[in-house]
Structure formats: structure tokens, C-alpha cells
């Protein structure tokens, strides 16, 4: 028995040494993480990024240090934060939460690799010249969120065919705001519904927009893809419930906090991929050899409890199309 216990102990020690060795395979590095949002709001996404880095052998606190910079919705702070990370001589910068962080990082350095996570079109916004072979020092993950407003309107129309008018929230500060407005116009013309499109970039403006939506008796509300709307999801969900308006957003976290439904890519997966790309670059990969990746799966999440609270009956056939139903 003693001999067996000794052998098992040796095996356990060997396994520990093996795990430690693997953690040390990658050289120690310091990277920057630049985000437009709130730290507390982005915990799951930051964790997903760390998970991707860990898959490449980089573990924060062991062989990796991450310098975090959170703009907390104040986009004008991003250039100074990016410059600070450059001054710290980080090995690379992960820029997430829209294209503004990536643009700030790109303006701050032409040599430090940048990995972005953005839902706006990275070619149209000037982050890269090509998806397949990004130029210079920038590559990343395109979440394609801003190109799905027509699909979201279509889903709202299918769920609520009796709704003749839809309220649409667009943040004019979002880089793809004009494209979103064009998509909405084209979709409404095709679907034969009317829209009330309102701009909002603050909580007060969102409050005013919902008051106007209620006044005009729209049948539903679409909050277009935007980092601010994503962070303000609980506020939007509360307003929609107060006014008994079916509301749709682009992130699954919206129905998770009481909104009615969402449709879009899974952002956690995009952030994990950003971590993987960052790890590959730390190991020697070049940004122009890493094509900009895009999601291949989009999910619809419905909060049935919210539907019941606002007196909305959703057809069984529509519910069956959902990837997840929260009851």
C-alpha cells in the first residue's frame, strides 16, 4: 500500500510539473486591453478573451500581464488610453467594444499588433483594407452585428405581423449608423411597415425616445447594434416593460435581463477568438497572415416570461425557431 501511494504521489507530482511546464512554454508578455464600455458590464467578455489566451498557453498572473483600460462609454478618452498603452510598450493591444477603440489604437501605433472586436464593417470603417489579408498591424474579429438590422426587423415582423409601425433606436455616434438607417429604410419598404427612427446616445435620450414611441403607438421597438445600447440593456428592458412594448436587441444578454428577444452572433465566442488571435501573435504570427474572422452562427433568444408580462402571445412555430427560450 505504501509503495502504491508513493507511486501515485509521484504520478501526481509529474502531472503538476507537466501542467506548470505547459504554462511556461509561452514567453511572459504584457498586453493591452482597450474597451469602450464599463468594466463591470463586460466581465463575461473579458473572461472569454482570457479563455482564448489560455488556449494558446498564456495565463494571466503566470506568464501574462494585461493592462486594462476602460473608457466607460466616454469615447473621447480612447485616444489617450491607447497612447498610454503604447507608452507602456505592450506586446499587442486587444481593442474591443466597437470600432472606436481599434481606430484609437491604430492612430496611436503603426507597429504594435492590434486585434479588434467590432460589429461594424471593418473595411467600411477603415480598420482594414481586406478581410482575407489585413494590411499593416491590424486584424481581428468582425461580429457582423451592424449588417443584421434588416433581419431583426424581419423577425419582429414575423412575430408581430399585426404591428404596422416599429420604433427604431440608432446611436448617431456609432460608426455604421448611416448604414443601419439605410438597412432599416430598405427593410421597412420591403416588409410594408412604417418606422419611427430616433437617435439616442444618452440614457435621457433613450427615455425620451420611448416616450415618443408610446405616444405614436408603435407596435415594437428595435435597438440597433451599438456598444452603448448593449451596456444600457437593463435600462432599455425596463422602459420596454413599462410601456408594454415588445423590444429586440442584438445581444443575448438583453433577454437575459428582461428584454423580449435578441438576434445576433454570440459575442463571448468572438472575444474568445480575439484571445486566440492574440496568443498566436505573441507566439510570432503576423497580423497580415491572420484573416479577419466572422461568425458563422447567429442565435435568437426569447424571454417568454417578458412576453407574458406585456400580454404578448408568441406562436408556437416562432418559438420553435428560437435557439433558447427563457421561461
| Helix, strand and coil percent figures for the chain, each rounded to 5 | 45, 20, 35
Distance in angstroms (rounded) separating the CA atoms of residues 104 and 237: 31
pLDDT exceeding 70 applies to what percent of the chain? 91
Contact between 124 and 176 under an 8 Å Cβ cutoff? The reply is: yes
Full-model pTM? 0.83
68-95 residue pLDDT tens: 999 988 889 999 999 999 999 999 999 9
Q: What is the mean pLDDT of residues 249-255?
A: 94
pLDDT exceeding 90 applies to what percent of the chain? 73
Domains of the chain, each with CATH number or no CATH: 27-144+267-289 (3.40.50.2300), 146-264+299-326 (3.40.50.2300)
Distance in angstroms (rounded) separating the CA atoms of residues 275 and 293: 13
pLDDT computed for residue 256 by the predictor: 96
Q: What is the mean pLDDT of residues 175-194?
A: 88
Coil, helix or strand at residue 96: strand
Contact between 196 and 213 under an 8 Å Cβ cutoff? The reply is: yes
Q: What is the mean pLDDT of residues 262-283?
A: 96
Q: What is the mean pLDDT of the chain?
A: 90
21-47 residue pLDDT tens: 444 455 789 999 999 988 888 899 999
Comparison of pLDDT for 18 and 159, the residue scoring more: 159
DSSP 288: G
What b-and-e string marks burial along 266-284, b requiring 16 or more CB atoms within 10 Å of the CB? bbbbbbbbbbbbbbbbbee
DSSP string, 144-189: -GGG-HHHHHHHHHHH-TT--EEEEEE-TTSTTHHHHHHHHHHHHH
Q: Which three cell numbers stand for residue 253?
A: 444578454
Amino acid at each position: 500500500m505504501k509503495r502504491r501511494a508513493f507511486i501515485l504521489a509521484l504520478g501526481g507530482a509529474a502531472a503538476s510539473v507537466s501542467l506548470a511546464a505547459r504554462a511556461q512554454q509561452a514567453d511572459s508578455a504584457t498586453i493591452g486591453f482597450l474597451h469602450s464600455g464599463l468594466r463591470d458590464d463586460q466581465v463575461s467578455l473579458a473572461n472569454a478573451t482570457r479563455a482564448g489566451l489560455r488556449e494558446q498557453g498564456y495565463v494571466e498572473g503566470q506568464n501574462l500581464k494585461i493592462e486594462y483600460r476602460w473608457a466607460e462609454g466616454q469615447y473621447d478618452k480612447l485616444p489617450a488610453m491607447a497612447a498610454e498603452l503604447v507608452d507602456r510598450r505592450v506586446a499587442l493591444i486587444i481593442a474591443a467594444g466597437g470600432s472606436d477603440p481599434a481606430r484609437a489604437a491604430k492612430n496611436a501605433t503603426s507597429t504594435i499588433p492590434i486585434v479588434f472586436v467590432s460589429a461594424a464593417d471593418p473595411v467600411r470603417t477603415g480598420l482594414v483594407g481586406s478581410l482575407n489579408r489585413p494590411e499593416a498591424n491590424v486584424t481581428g474579429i468582425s461580429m457582423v452585428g451592424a449588417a443584421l438590422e434588416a433581419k431583426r426587423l424581419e423577425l419582429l415582423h414575423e412575430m408581430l405581423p399585426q404591428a404596422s409601425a416599429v420604433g427604431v433606436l440608432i446611436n448617431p455616434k456609432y460608426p455604421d449608423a448611416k448604414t443601419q438607417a439605410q438597412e432599416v429604410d430598405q427593410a421597412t419598404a420591403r416588409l410594408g411597415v412604417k418606422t419611427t427612427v430616433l437617435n439616442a446616445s444618452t440614457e435621457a435620450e433613450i427615455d425620451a425616445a420611448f416616450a415618443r414611441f408610446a405616444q405614436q403607438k408603435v407596435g415594437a421597438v428595435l435597438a440597433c447594434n451599438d456598444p452603448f445600447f448593449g451596456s444600457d440593456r437593463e435600462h432599455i428592458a425596463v422602459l420596454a416593460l413599462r410601456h408594454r412594448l415588445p423590444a429586440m436587441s442584438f445581444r443575448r444578454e438583453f433577454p437575459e435581463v428582461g428584454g423580449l428577444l435578441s438576434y445576433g452572433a454570440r459575442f463571448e465566442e468572438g472575444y474568445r477568438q480575439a484571445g486566440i488571435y492574440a496568443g498566436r501573435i505573441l507566439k510570432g504570427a503576423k497580423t497580415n497572415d491572420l484573416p479577419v474572422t466572422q461568425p458563422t452562427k447567429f442565435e435568437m433568444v426569447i424571454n417568454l416570461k417578458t412576453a407574458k408580462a406585456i400580454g404578448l402571445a408568441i406562436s408556437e412555430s416562432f418559438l420553435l425557431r428560437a435557439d433558447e427560450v427563457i421561461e
